[in-house]
Structure 1
Amino acid sequence: MFLNQTTYSTDTSPRSVAIVDVNSDNKPDIIVSNWNSKTVGVLLNKGNGTFLTQTTYTTGTNPGSVAVVDVNSD
């Protein structure tokens, strides 16, 4: 079963997306590189088929891609 389409706001020029559990709750979250605003956005999975509004982190330069890795094995 699929839910109706939901649109989530990012930047006007998102370049790359990764799906990964960033907060160890066993739910896949969305990471997006926002080229124009020079940020990376994180949309946390609420566990009900929806995501929270993105939280952004400044990169200092225009991020062109997203790569994810678990650096501390948590």
Structure 2
Amino acid sequence: MNYPSNISRQQFELIRPDLEAARRSTRPRKYDLYELFCAVVYVLRTGCQWRELPVDFPRWQLVYYYYRVWSEEQIMRA
């Protein structure tokens, strides 16, 4: 999947540690964290509804879950 909202893998590696720090469980991930992040950015940039995410991305429920986790982590740091 190649959307205008995607960032490069090199850019993503700069923020990966912060995103992984918000992890709540110890189970291995089934989806690439990069894909989840790009899906969140897609929703924020396009303004589409979560349920309208293109099928190229992981399930919208999972993407929304990670958005909530990352948002709460940011609030706690502020």
Structure with the larger helix share: 2
**TM-score interval, normalised by the smaller of the two chains:** under 0.3
Which structure shows the higher strand fraction?
A: 1
Q: TM-score, normalised by structure 2?
A: 0.26
Structure exhibiting the larger radius of gyration computed from Cα positions: 1
